[in-house]
Amino acid sequence: MSAEATAIHKSVVITGSTKGLGFELARSFLARGCGVTLSGRDEQALTRALATLRREHGIDRVAGISGDVTLRADVEALWARAAAVFGRVDVWINNAGTTNPQVPFADQDASDICAVVGTNLAGTMLGSWVAIRGMRAQGFGALYNMEGYGSDGSRQPGMSTYGSTKVAVRYLTRSLAAELRDTPIVVGALSPGVVVTDLLLDVYARGAPENWRRARRIFQFIADRTETVAPWLADAVLANQKTDVRLAWMTVPRAIARFFMPHYHRRKLLPE
């Protein structure tokens, strides 16, 4: 496969794209004529994701490589794979993330803390480093980092580790935008809001049951499925030309309005 063999709108790289929001983002970009390079640590999950998307959108517009975002060689191999298949990387999205059980910080396992910081923060930094160097060499590109709970400084018991990484990611994103302001590289943040994924459900499954009961009442109104959020984010990324931008699906006015809409009181979105 090559850029000459396949006409594409944009070449998009998405880390953590074998499932969840990353996978639906890949599907949405493909539906809009882009070529997409998938990435994930699980080789079998990658194989399944590639098979599904190639069946839907054709073999020539979907590439992929397994790898760990905390390893420089793996992230560089991801860039190289996308560039080899599509001839360039127009958009790089640092989406890979993990989280910890929603329990008090001192009760968390040290290995969970290191894994969350490694993937969410170090992985995003390393992905940004590789993407910026590649975009600098090719002369253009757009880098987006995924926000999450804590990005805006919100605090909640049990979310100290995850939230710390996300507030740091916002600082990183805005700092990179400032550094690259006078270059042809766009830097921005994606804010999907609360998205129902295995990652979200696992947080509460491994925490105290009362945390889920409390959160579920709010999520009934403000959470969304991946297939609802991903198309909007893909459209926003493809339309955006500004740097230091935050593309947010769930705004405060939208969230408030939902509490007054009967549909959101009735919908079956979350498990009991």
149 is catalytic: no
Contact 88, 35 (CB under 8 A): no
Q: Side-chain half-sphere of 186: how many Cα atoms within 13 Å? A: 21
How far apart, in Å, are the Cα atoms of 191 and each of 92, 103, 137, 166, 208?
Answer: 15, 24, 28, 11, 26
How far apart, in Å, are the Cα atoms of 262 and each of 243, 254, 268?
Answer: 38, 14, 12
Per annotation, catalytic residue among 144, 149, 162, 204: 162
Catalytically active residues are 162
